[in-house]
Amino acid sequence: MNSLDSWLDKLEIENSSRHDNRSSIEYRLNLWLNKILDHPTINKIVCITSGGTIVPLETNMVRYIDNFSTGLRGALSAEYFLRSNYAVLYFHRKGSLLPFLHRLTNQQQKCTKEVDSNKLTNTTNNNNSNSNQNNIEIFNWFMFNPQDNKLQLKENSVQFLSSIFNEYTMYGQYLFTLDFETIEDYLIGLRWIAKQLEAIHLNKSSRQKQIHLSFYLSAAVSDYYLNREYRPEHKIQTKSMLSTTSKSSDDYLDKSLSRIEDLHLSLQPVPKVMKLLTTLWSPSSYVISFKLETDHRLLLVKAKQSLEMYNPNVIVANLLQTRSKEVWLVFKQNNTQDIIVEHINMENNIDEINKRQIISQEIESILISRLIQLHEQTIDRTIIKSHL
């Protein structure tokens, strides 16, 4: 067994209490997968990872280190995959944005802005900073009559809700969601999902249609974590506790309250598991990975390095500052070692946006369309090769 797999086995045992409902999840997932397998036209399944992972600093977690991510790219991408006849297994950070559901707030923002121009709200694309204010405005969708205790949707709310509900009604049955929270949850869950999906590929002889698998790894995964053996069991205490607590003869209290003024953490690098995904867990899958940087000078250099080291099919490279306006696709030319870099941005693809009538100008529309083209080209080559 691979040493990283052994490490994950150990992690899974240590975190078993967090996954005690695995059998229930497996049952529901199998029901969903069987429904997809029986569907007459859907023959592609994509697992989308979305949102950021957290690194606990205590076993009984109070403090943690978080990664920047709202999950918007994953949520939008899931919708475009669903519209393109993919079934979507959506593996997301608990509390991050979800497909279709995230549009409720966005639509309410637009509606509120149109109806009441006096409101001092700043509505911008891909901005989650006003989420609390937007959520409270959900109450404005309704009319309530306390005299007869009746609740009714306002007319303008019906307009935007109906379009969202219509799409969810069309595609919701092809969407399956699972959540994670910690970096351990993510790694353990990704391996489990990959093996569940790969089993479908291995059992292809028992059914008529071929299922094509893919992974779209847009989650913001922690690069460093605090190994469980170095985490205190309980909440890390501050120095102020010493000055307000009288000396105790209890050795346990003395030990738990004693600490230095500065907090020093020694973080370990999170092992990279993408190579395991592409070669061991689900080698039949088409793997799309992401590389996020803040320094444009490093972005493509590191994306090309990742392509060589971990062997995904495509890397989507993006800068934090412009991630909603432009991305770069980094992949290898067919049957060669030549690396291709394609730049996708809103300005250069404005004709494509107009053709698709994307009112909100979501770059994910163009991104997913191009990735599906690349995936289908790979599928076609595989089919041709199998007939030679």
Structure tokens belonging to residue 57: 């600093």
- Look over the chain and give the mean of its residue pLDDT values, rounded to a whole number: 85
Q: Quick one: 1-117+154-232+272-284 is in which CATH superfamily?
A: CoaB-like (3.40.50.10300)
Reported confidence tier of residue 96, pLDDT bands at 50, 70, 90: very high
Percent of the chain with pLDDT over 70: 80
Q: Tell me the range of 37-51, 134-148, 151-165, 354-368 where mean pLDDT is highest.
A: 37-51
Residue 308: CB atoms within 10 Å: 10
Nearest to 343 by CA among 328, 355, 363: 328
pLDDT, tens only, 170-205: 999 999 999 999 999 999 999 999 999 999 988 876
Rounded Cα gap, residues 70 and 267, in angstroms? 24
- Tell me the per-residue pLDDT of 326-355, one tens digit each, with 9 for 90 and over: 999 999 987 678 999 999 998 776 565 555
CA dihedral over 198, 199, 200, 203, signed as positive or negative: positive
Domain ranges, ordered by start, for the chain = 1-117+154-232+272-284
DSSP string of 2-69, one letter each residue:
-HHHHHHHHHHHHTGGGGTTHHHHHHHHHHHHHHHHH-SS--EEEEEEESB-EEESSSS-S-EEE---
pTM to 2 decimal places: 0.86
Half-sphere exposure of 124 (CA within 13 A, CB side): 6
Among 103-117, 191-205, 358-372, where is mean pLDDT lowest?
Answer: 103-117
The owner of tokens 């190579």 is 275
Q: Residues for the chain: how many in total?
A: 388
Helix, strand, coil proportions of the chain in percent (round to 5)? 50, 20, 35
